[in-house]
Structure 1
Amino acid sequence: MTIDTALDQRIAAAFTYAFALHDLARTRWLFTQGPGERAAPPNRLHHNRRLLNHRARQVTMPNNDTLYSSAWLDLAGGPVTLALPDMGARYYSVALLDCFTNNFACLGPRTCAPGVRTFIIAGPGHAGQVPAALPADTMLVRAPCNDVWLLARLLIDGEPDLPAVHALQDAMTLAPASASPNPLATTPDETDPAAYLALVNEALGRNGVPAAEREMVAGMADLGIRAGERDAWRQMAEPVRQAWTRLYPALRRQLEQPPRSQAQHGGPRVSWQSGPDHIGNFGSDYAYRAYIALVGLGALERAEAIYSTALVDADGNLFDGARRYRLHVPADVPVNAFWSLTMYEFEPDGRRFFTANPLDRFAIGDRTPGLRRNADGSLDIAIQHAGPAEGSANWLPAPAGRFSLALRYYHPRAALLGHAFRMPDAQALD
């Protein structure tokens, strides 16, 4: 893509700024208003009851370590009350994301006291405090916008653990205010720049523009970024519409490449990349925010979990299912909860999902039963399309073509947070 003119550059910047907002609103529409029986209205908990597999294609880069529970909150009509049961020693987190995909709160054992917990989640228009009728330790969580994504993760140790996790899910409650939530009026269409701007503007109108960005967003009005104005496309000058139409497909494809802001820490490594420390709370790094919305929507903040991704092997070559690889995992991975390694295949649009395989194994980690460890406690994981000759105990199946790997470190310790620990790169064996 060639961006030659000042207008082209401004449109590219406006698209990048708005992409995460658009992608979250698009996902919200799919889950609350989209076709099919799974759509649930806002302010209602929806529980995934099964471990996700290769057929799950709604949220990019899902995990296979937890069951998700989620709700799309509409706080314009008043706060909601979230009650959680005692999770015991089980890992869990409840991430609260604003309309731009920033984690403004993460509820769980890292941030909250153990036991039964109650939370009031209130939008920017709510001035009240915790009602006296609620438990004394109820926490008031103030959201910066009205549209909030509540995304809970509960650790699960395979199919036998499903009944226990289901019981915990069933004990979670979400009580909304009496006002009825407002649906999105714009139907998403990712192929049409006019629809893109309409959904962006509706989302901005519902939630408002952050105070620090109002002047910048006001400067995008002639480009069609106008909070609350769904018909801004017709109000733009014809040269601007033509530029949007010409640039839009390439701008979308360009997001598939990590931005320059996703720099390596600690030297010129070619494989594992965890990106900047502000993942999950992106500030003004709109390029990185857009990239994560595409490849890892709903990413947690780094203090809760570190995501490290590899697209290439130790020699810098793209992963290819036609080759075999080995990943050596040290005995002591510095986490307080757990770690896992997940395999993803690529969709044509750059999103990543699990790949079908004979083991129905989409991730491998420190909780995987039957792993064969070396004498020092380390692991050698076989990453390949066909089953390894030495057996399947340490096999992470790969697709036949291009793939990527993701390491998730939950409750990382200081060595990870300070970039002192690095996982070895995967070695190509042929």
Structure 2
Amino acid sequence: MSVNATVLSASAAIWGYPLVQVGLTAAGALTTAGGTLNQWISQDQLSTPTNQAIVTPNYDTLYSQAFLDLTTTGVVVTAPTTVVDRYILFEFMDAYTNVFASTSRRNYPKTNGGGKFLVYGPNSPKVADESGFDAVLQAPTNLVWLLSRTEVKYYFNDTDLAIANSIQKTFTLTTTVSASPKKGVSALIPSGTNSSDPLYFWKVLGTLITFTPPANLSELIPFTPIGISAKGFNSSQVTPQLATLLAQVAVGTDKQLKQLTLGDPVAAVKTPSPFSEINNNWVTFPSLGKFGVNFGFRAGIAATAIAGNLKEDAVYYSGRLDSNGNVLKGTLSYTIDFPVDIPADAFWSITAYYGANGTLIKNAAGIYAVGSHSPSLVQNSAGFYRVQLQSSKPTQNDVNWLPTPSSAEFYLIVRFYQPRAEVLSNTWPVPWIVPVVDYGAISGSGDSPVAPVGTALYSAGDVVKVSLLLIAALFTFII
């Protein structure tokens, strides 16, 4: 095949990757729940290493999700307005993972983040009277992924979990056109095909394009020579030689995006992408959810970090290097000293994940996060919340243990929900991850270890912005 066909195929795969991931996520959820589009599907337990509703989940909220079909109807979504002591966030994403709206007590304080929200698609018929809604939201695509997060205020507390479950059950979803058809998996995955089909990715992409085309159809024009257009995927246009290429590109794109995302963490800090910022060797992406025409960035996030919130709702910092610039490994112990006044108005947490696949770390204690919801967050004599990362339980009484693997590489995510201005501007210094070779070297005195002078990649508090576009560093962030 020509170089042009290869470039077009790769470009089309990167462009369409998020759409396919949303479609497959929706199909999987509907199949598991036995549900349809325009229906809530809720998770009634916090995520575990063997039960994750989405990739790299938090351990602070219960997820509920609905996949809205707005082709011929609007949808009314409601959440309770009387929940004053618990954070609830609704995230509205188009079919290509752009966040076009969110609702929480941040932007709807008078109703505690709840209310009655009317959602229209590009061609949804309008309702006669819109005055009774707290907001009218215009979606850019026919398919919308609505993902909600309901705060669980205490880890290891069945009573509190039951309260969160009861709140989830009050969420409602109603179509404005009562006769609108209830669609299932067949609207997302073409009938008569399965994942063993070499052209499965492209057939799914074609079906989804016809169901929920992009707002800007001109994005599809370059892909016409390989059978992709607003009409879907034209397999009759594909020669055997092109079919072989397309199959290889689909597999290669998925593999390469995941490798790049979980790739060289040192490069991610030393040579950040134009979309990232660095803070004491932690990486964050301030434009998460607002991808625009940055299709490579959008695909990279969809590969392992799909459905991240807008920064106004949550800021995420991914930590894969210690204060000396070395990759985090389970063979070592580390400490992180958080100040007591964490700049998050909803809650904060730090969670550990396996470096190879982004799943929560298995441990006998069942501890997957430390933060606002820890049942007994310990403050040491120096006035810090010291988080100690190691595979075995610490002997000290003034540390907060976050279990890590016994030997494998791992990474951390610090989450700030409803972050304050200093986090939004990335001027608040995220505490260093300090290695301690000998577990016993950490005394119980509360003295804070200091990174050796000159060994860190950047000095404490330094915020680095680099505009150099390096494809190998584009996709180094996990949500």
Deviation at 1:234, TM superposition (A): 4.0
Deviation at 1:263, TM superposition (A): 4.8
Query: Counterparts in 2 of 1:337-348, with a 5 A limit?
Result: 337-346=346-355
Task: Sort the Cα spacing of 1:189 and 1:363 in 2 relative to 1 into closer, same or farther, 3 A.
Answer: farther
Matched, 1:335 2:327: no
- Tell me which amino acid in the other structure corresponds to 2:281: S
| Equivalent position of 2:214 in the other structure | 209
Matched, 1:45 2:40: yes
Q: Pick one of 93, 99, 108 that aligns with 2:104.
A: 108
Q: Distance in 1 between matches of 2:8 and 2:19?
A: 18
| Equivalent position of 2:305 in the other structure | 296
Instruction: For structure 1, list consecutive stretches of 5 or more residues without a partner in the other structure.
Output: none
| Equivalent position of 2:163 in the other structure | 164
* DSSP 3-state at the match of 2:351: strand
Task: Sort the Cα spacing of 1:295 and 1:153 in 2 relative to 1 into closer, same or farther, 3 A.
Answer: same
Q: Pick one of 367, 370, 395 that aligns with 2:373.
A: 367
* DSSP 3-state at the match of 2:105: coil
| Equivalent position of 2:296 in the other structure | 287
Deviation at 1:77, TM superposition (A): 2.7
Q: Pick one of 241, 244, 247 that aligns with 2:246.
A: 244
- Number of corresponding residues: 414
Q: Would the aligned equivalents of 2:254 and 2:303 in 1 still touch at CA under 8 Å?
A: no
Deviation at 1:326, TM superposition (A): 1.2
Q: Distance in 2 between matches of 1:154 and 1:229?
A: 37
- Tell me which amino acid in the other structure corresponds to 1:314: S
Q: Would the aligned equivalents of 2:328 and 2:409 in 1 still touch at CA under 8 Å?
A: yes
Query: Counterparts in 2 of 1:13-412, with a 5 A limit?
Result: 13-32=11-30, 34=31, 36=32, 38-85=33-80, 86-115=82-111, 117-129=115-127, 131=129, 136-157=132-153, 158=155, 159=157, 160-176=159-175, 177-178=177-178, 179-182=180-183, 183-186=187-190, 194-211=199-216, 214-230=217-233, 232-256=234-258, 257-258=260-261, 261=273, 263-265=275-277, 271-275=281-285, 277-346=286-355, 350=357, 352-390=358-396, 394-400=400-406, 401-412=408-419
Deviation at 1:40, TM superposition (A): 2.0
Task: Sort the Cα spacing of 1:216 and 1:192 in 2 relative to 1 into closer, same or farther, 3 A.
Answer: same
Q: Distance in 2 between matches of 1:298 and 1:130?
A: 33
Offset from partner CA, 1:295-343 (integer Å, 9 cap, x none): 2211111111011112222222222212211112223322221111011
Q: Kindly report the root-mean-square deviation, in angstroms, between the aligned alpha carbons of the 2 structures.
A: 2.5
Q: Distance in 2 between matches of 1:189 and 1:421?
A: 48
Q: Would the aligned equivalents of 2:343 and 2:420 in 1 still touch at CA under 8 Å?
A: yes
* DSSP 3-state at the match of 2:206: helix
Deviation at 1:248, TM superposition (A): 3.5
- Tell me which amino acid in the other structure corresponds to 1:366: S
Deviation at 1:195, TM superposition (A): 0.8
* DSSP 3-state at the match of 1:273: strand
Offset from partner CA, 1:35-91 (integer Å, 9 cap, x none): x4x342111112211122111144101111011121111111311111211221321
Deviation at 1:161, TM superposition (A): 0.8
Q: Would the aligned equivalents of 1:330 and 1:377 in 2 still touch at CA under 8 Å?
A: yes
* DSSP 3-state at the match of 2:283: coil
Q: TM-score, normalised by structure 2?
A: 0.80
Task: Sort the Cα spacing of 1:398 and 1:197 in 2 relative to 1 into closer, same or farther, 3 A.
Answer: same
Q: Would the aligned equivalents of 2:386 and 2:399 in 1 still touch at CA under 8 Å?
A: no
- Tell me which amino acid in the other structure corresponds to 1:296: A
**Percent of aligned positions that are identical:** 24
* DSSP 3-state at the match of 2:350: strand
- Tell me which amino acid in the other structure corresponds to 2:345: N
Q: Distance in 2 between matches of 1:262 and 1:320?
A: 28
* DSSP 3-state at the match of 1:327: strand
Offset from partner CA, 1:187-229 (integer Å, 9 cap, x none): 7866755111111111111112222xx3331111222322343
Q: Would the aligned equivalents of 1:202 and 1:227 in 2 still touch at CA under 8 Å?
A: no
Q: Distance in 1 between matches of 2:287 and 2:239?
A: 37
Task: Sort the Cα spacing of 1:64 and 1:371 in 2 relative to 1 into closer, same or farther, 3 A.
Answer: same
Task: Sort the Cα spacing of 1:100 and 1:163 in 2 relative to 1 into closer, same or farther, 3 A.
Answer: same
Offset from partner CA, 1:340-364 (integer Å, 9 cap, x none): 10111245xx4x2212212211111
* DSSP 3-state at the match of 2:367: coil
